[in-house]
């Protein structure tokens, strides 16, 4: 079930990316394209993917597209992979490591400390959003994907999903936003686990 969903997300992204470079080309000949777009729309993914597509030259778009490919992976406390499942910080850590080769700290509060604070109004796709869900600061983290929405692995019994930050639950518990400077075009064995706050890797 998860693999078809990932295939759908990546297929639609490829279709939208192709559309950028073929605006004046003939209509696509692939008869499955309308079905893919319709299915994506029915799952509420099309808007998110299109928002990412609009900034496809940015490395952060790769991060968001990759994260969307893991929709439906079960929550697992301490989990850091699709095979085991993810917890919230494990999901964020895995997405950054897989996409840009950046090794973030393991815990949500450590990820907040290793990255630069930004205003909520300045959020861009790929930024981190933090919430107080356990009566302590920065106890939950997700990846902002644009349009006021974020993707995360929420809790036991749930799956990786996209939610709106405007929902009352998340709005009340919002703890802040963070941005990471290092989005290298090539994967690098970089670690922020022990970086000082004045490190050039954060801003």
pLDDT at residue 60 in the model: 80
Query: Angle 88-100/59-68 helices, nearest 10 degrees?
Result: 130
Q: The tokens of 191 are what?
A: 């670690």
Contact 91, 154 (CB under 8 A): no
Q: Does residue 45 lie within any of the structural domains? A: no
18 an active-site residue?
no
Q: Does residue 19 lie within any of the structural domains? A: no
Range of the domain at 74: 57-191
Q: Does residue 63 lie within any of the structural domains? A: yes
**Residues 174, 28: Cα–Cα separation, whole Å:** 43
Q: What is the CATH number of the domain that holds 154?
A: 3.90.1720.10
**Residues 95, 170: Cα–Cα separation, whole Å:** 22
88 an active-site residue?
yes
Q: Does residue 14 lie within any of the structural domains? A: no
Domains in the chain: how many in total? 1
Q: The tokens of 63 are what?
A: 């991060």
pLDDT in tens, the chain (203 residues): 544 445 444 444 444 434 333 333 333 444 444 544 555 555 555 555 555 455 444 678 899 999 999 999 999 999 999 999 999 999 999 999 999 899 999 999 999 999 999 999 999 999 999 999 999 999 999 999 999 999 999 999 999 999 999 999 999 999 999 999 765 344 334 455 554 444 434 43
Report the 3 state secondary structure along the chain: CHHHHHHHHHHHHHHHHHHHCCCCCCCCCCCCHHHHHHHHHHCCCHHHHHHHHCCCCCHHHHHHHHHHCCCCCEECCCCEECCCEECHHHHHHHHHHHHHCEECCCCHHHHHHCCEEECHHHCCCCCEEEECCCCCCCCEEEEEEECCEEEECCCCCCECEEEECCCHHHHHHEEEEEEECCCCCCCCCEECCCCCCCCCCEC
Q: Does residue 170 lie within any of the structural domains? A: yes
152 an active-site residue?
yes
pLDDT at residue 181 in the model: 76
Instruction: Give the burial string for 7-26 (b: 16+ CB within 10 Å, else e).
Output: ebbebbbebbbeeeeeeeee
Q: Does residue 7 lie within any of the structural domains? A: no
Q: Does residue 27 lie within any of the structural domains? A: no
Backbone angles phi, psi at 111, to 5 degrees: -65, -40
Which residue is catalytic, options 13, 18, 24, 152?
152
* pLDDT, tens only, 157-185: 999 999 999 999 999 999 999 999 765 34
Which residue is catalytic, options 13, 48, 140, 171?
140
């Amino acid at each position: 079930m998860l693999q078809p969903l990932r295939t759908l997300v990546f297929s639609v992204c490829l279709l939208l990316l192709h559309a950028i470079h073929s605006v004046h080309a003939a209509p696509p000949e692939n008869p499955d394209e309308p079905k893919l777009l319709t299915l994506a729309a029915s799952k509420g993914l099309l808007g998110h993917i299109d928002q990412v597509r609009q900034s496809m030259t940015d490395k952060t778009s790769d991060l968001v597209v990759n994260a969307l490919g893991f929709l439906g992976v079960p929550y697992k406390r301490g989990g850091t992979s699709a095979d085991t499942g993810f917890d919230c910080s494990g999901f964020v850590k895995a997405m950054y490591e897989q996409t840009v080769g950046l090794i973030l700290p393991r815990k949500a509060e450590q990820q907040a400390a290793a990255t630069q604070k930004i205003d909520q109004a300045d959020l861009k796709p790929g930024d981190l959003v933090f919430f107080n869900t356990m009566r302590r600061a920065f106890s939950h983290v997700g990846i902002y994907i644009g349009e006021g929405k974020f993707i995360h692995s929420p809790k036991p019994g749930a799956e990786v999903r996209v939610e709106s930050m405007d929902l009352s639950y998340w709005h009340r518990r919002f703890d802040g936003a963070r941005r990471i400077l290092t989005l290298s075009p090539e994967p690098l064995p970089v670690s922020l686990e022990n970086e000082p706050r004045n490190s050039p890797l954060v801003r």
